[in-house]
Amino acid sequence: MTTTLTPRRSRPPAQPDSLRAKRLPGYAAPALAVLALLVSAGLVYGVDLGGPVLVVVLGALLYLAGLFAAANAVEGRRSARNRFWSALIHSALVLAVLPLASVVWTLFSKGTARLDGDFFGSSMNNIGARDANGGAYHAIVGTLEQVGIATAITVPLGVLCAIYIVEYGRGRFAFTIRFFVDVMTGIPSIVTGLFVLAFWVLIVSPWFNDGQPGFSGFAAALALSVLMLPTVVRSTEEMLRLVPAPLREGAYALGVPKWKTILRVVLPTALPGIVTGIMLSIARAAGETAPVLLVAGGGAAINFNPFENNQSSLALFVYQQAGEASKYSPARAWTAALTLVVLVLVLTVAAKLLARRNRLGR
């Protein structure tokens, strides 16, 4: 009887320590970061150069320099460069998030002082400098009406203009439209307010107001629509260009007309991006102060009619309360700013969910 012996596999020889790559321990980077912040805080506060922002910036620079020196001494120059650029990218991310986190924290810490029923259920009518009451109900109504009218005007015009540029536009006319849209993107808000003031308030509105110029929320909505239009056009144009050409070609191959292809294939595919661009334009319009101040005039009373009399907005309310000589005004301004941010956030989330639901339904 023959017995077959299976050769035993030999283990690979252990590499000597000289062939193993040396690496910094896992705690080295956090330890260097803490040490850099401590040294930075000692320098800044010891010499009285600034505050916590300078401590973070200087600490980030010291951390990058220390990490590069330690990695270069232990791991070599190539690995040190890799660690340096990775740490630089993460440090840039932290420095970019810090201002946003600071703004959010400031809004919530100072904006909750007047989160009560009186603030959301009353206006500033008959409220003096020594009165602790008063709210922003009139400003909330004005913001919703002005932004709503501006959106109803801008979205159809902007989407149709983008469809023409992408799907039909050829030659000089399309180039001219694109050029003027780009120019309108950089127009200051005060210019749009002056344009609507000179055209609508001083020329057109007297025809409907017994010869007298009239401020109104509708005039503010016209000014806001001028600001929103280039953002809607450019964002919609870019989203339509991202729709794959085979989707259009497949619809054409089945004999579907071009207009129906755009309506049933192209627009639903680009809808999430289009909604994002629209919400960006709404956020910009909701935060504008100068056009509303010029053509709506502002006001302390509640005005539900956007076509007659003065009307306020949340952004204008914040501006006015920040300049009031009253100890109660700053709390109203911070709460109104928080309300504006939350309002835009809620509208953005709702629009995103609606666009996602329509896309899944198809």
Q: Are residues 106 and 159 in the same domain?
A: no
What mean pLDDT value characterizes the chain?
86
Q: 131 and 100 in one domain?
A: no
Taking phi over 0 as left and psi of -120 to 50 as alpha, with beta for the rest, 60 belongs to alpha
Whole domain around residue 90: which residue ranges?
28-111
16 domain residue, yes or no: no
| Dmax (CA) of the chain | 122
pLDDT of the residue at 157: 94
pLDDT above 80 (res 263): yes
Check whether residue 165 and residue 142 sit in a common domain.
yes
Instruction: State percent of the chain over pLDDT 90.
Output: 33
Quick check: is 8 in a domain? Answer: no
Last-in-domain residue among 111, 138, 154: 111
pLDDT confidence band for 94 (50 / 70 / 90): confident
**Domain identity same for 167 and 295:** yes
Q: Higher pLDDT residue, 205 or 359?
A: 205
Q: Is 306 helix (H, G, I), strand (E, B) or coil?
A: coil
**Mean pLDDT value of segment 317-335:** 89
- Tokens matching residue 181: 């849209």
SS3 of 201-244: HHHHHHHHCCCCCCCCHHHHHHHHHHHHHHHHHHHHHHHHHCCC
Residue 17 within any structural domain of the chain: no
pTM of the model: 0.79
Is residue 15 one of the residues assigned to a domain?
A: no
Instruction: Specify the number of domains making up the chain.
Output: 2
User: 211 and 184 share a domain?
Assistant: yes
Dump pLDDT digits (tens) for 217-249: 999 999 999 999 999 999 999 999 999 989 888
Q: Are residues 74 and 168 in the same domain?
A: no
For residues 130 and 79, state if they share a domain. no
The average pLDDT across 27-41 equals 88
CATH of residue 291: 1.10.3720.10
What lies within 8 Å, CB to CB, of 61 at 6+ separation is none
Q: Any residues with CB less than 8 A from the CB of 35 and at least 6 apart, and which?
A: 66
- CA 315 to chain centroid, in Å, comes to 16
Task: Count other Cβ atoms within 10 Å, centred on residue 332.
Answer: 28
169 and 232 inside one domain: yes
**What's the CA gap between 295 and 189, in Å, rounded?**
12
**What does the alpha-carbon distance between residue 279 and residue 182 come to, in Å, rounded to a whole number?**
19
Q: What is the pLDDT of residue 8?
A: 58
pLDDT band at 20 (very low <50, low <70, confident <90, very high): low
98 located within any domain: yes
pLDDT band, very low/low/confident/very high, at 127 (cuts 50, 70, 90): confident
Q: Please state whether 211 falls in left (phi above 0), alpha (psi between -120 and 50) or beta.
A: left
